[in-house]
Amino acid sequence: MIKRRGSKPVRIGTVVVGGGAPVVVQSMTNTDTRDVGATVAQIKRLDEQGCEIVRVAVPDMEAARAIPAIKKAINIPLVADVHFDYRLALTAIAGGVDALRLNPGNIQDHQQVRAVVSASKEREIPIRIGVNAGSLPPNLAGQEPSGKPQGVSERMVQAALGHIRLLEDMDFDLIKVSLKAFDVPTTIAAYQRMAELVSYPFHLGITEAGTPRAGSIRSAVGIGTLLHMGLGDTIRVSLTGDPVEEVITAYEILKALNLREHGPVMISCPTCGRTEIDLVGLALAVEKRLEGIDKPIKVAVMGCVVNGPGEAREADVGIAGGKGRGVIFRKGEIVRTVPESELYPALLAEIDKLLAETS
């Protein structure tokens, strides 16, 4: 149902971003990049969870020099996050990174930018221009030509356009763009505006969104709204915590919009004064049981027999609890009735059967 914006595809290692490719999930390590062992271990955990591109900070030369060892030990494309110092970018490129995040306008010397662009072009390494609301360059004084104060989103767009032009002037177009703010409506407005101006693919994110609890909700609202508008080719959820949480949240956002499948989906009712079985306990047990499963099966755990099967018609398999008993249903049709004590094992048996059938 979502009509996605047409964007120019770029290739980051083996992964295509933009041009109608499925929305790509990425994350960033929070280990010390110089600690190759810790960084690789974290990337492997991210990879297992479905992370498709990973970024590492490259704050100094020692971090840049760690890249070949990291790259060699991992199986997903690696992006180097570089600020200000072009030598870090050159070392990262030589070290085998698949893409850069770098704002060329922040490098004072254009010859230095040219050196990075030239190396990127030679190896076909895309550059993400990543403008964040809080670090807008001071030369964007916040005035529109009319003299009216310029909104933050417009200043973000102008800052990004400045960086984009620098690259385009050097005949470089392997560009991705991000425009992140903590403020969700500002972020949305910036991407909407940019979509009118360029065709480069968008990397979406809400910056400094917070801890997993609040930050995942904030990210889901911002990224979800943009994706529903058809904007966004890759997403990174930023959370203060284990980056694995970022990947889990990213997939939940994409699954909510039917943009990606990623393991099981569970449909479960909030329970109410009508519920006559321990539905919350059952739902949590089923959620736990589904954790290891890769297939995109839909399982429903519903509180009442009257509405349960109907409400969860799109589920492959489900249970609906009644008074001391419950029904097993598939695709909205009741297949059998079991006593409450047998609901959980009966559902697990149905799930196993379903998995066997679809394998």
Q: Taking the complex as a whole, how short is the minimal distance between the CB of residue 170 and its own copies, in angstroms?
A: 26
Between residues 121 and 228, which has the closer beta carbon with respect to its own copies? 228
What length is written for the chain?
A: 359
Between residues 158 and 225, which has the closer beta carbon with respect to its own copies? 225
DSSP-assigned beta bridge partners for residue 100: 80, 127
Between residues 37 and 169, which has the closer beta carbon with respect to its own copies? 37
Q: Output the six-digit token pair for 28.
A: 């960033």
Between residues 174 and 279, which has the closer beta carbon with respect to its own copies? 279
C-alpha to C-alpha distance for 318 and 320, rounded to whole angstroms: 7
Q: Taking the complex as a whole, how short is the minimal distance between the CB of residue 169 and its own copies, in angstroms?
A: 27
Q: Output the six-digit token pair for 213.
A: 């609890």
Q: Taking the complex as a whole, how short is the minimal distance between the CB of residue 244 and its own copies, in angstroms?
A: 12
Q: Output the six-digit token pair for 189.
A: 């407005």
Q: For residue 114, give Cα distances in angstroms to 10, 44, 102, 186.
A: 20, 34, 13, 32
Between residues 60 and 169, which has the closer beta carbon with respect to its own copies? 60
Q: Is 146 exposed, middle or buried (0-12, 13-18, 19+ CB in 10 A)?
A: exposed
Between residues 77 and 212, which has the closer beta carbon with respect to its own copies? 212
C-alpha to C-alpha distance for 240 and 234, rounded to whole angstroms: 20
Q: Taking the complex as a whole, how short is the minimal distance between the CB of residue 323 and its own copies, in angstroms?
A: 11
**Look-up of token digits 């971090």:** 63
Q: Taking the complex as a whole, how short is the minimal distance between the CB of residue 57 and its own copies, in angstroms?
A: 3
Secondary structure letter of residue 202 according to DSSP = B
C-alpha to C-alpha distance for 254 and 262, rounded to whole angstroms: 9
Between residues 272 and 356, which has the closer beta carbon with respect to its own copies? 272
CA angle, 16 then 14 then 129, to 5°: 55
3-state SS assignment for residue 118? helix
Q: Taking the complex as a whole, how short is the minimal distance between the CB of residue 101 and its own copies, in angstroms?
A: 11
Please list, residue by residue across 309-325, b when 16 or more beta carbons sit within 10 angstroms of its beta carbon and e when fewer do: bebbeebbbbbbbbeeb
Q: Taking the complex as a whole, how short is the minimal distance between the CB of residue 110 and its own copies, in angstroms?
A: 23
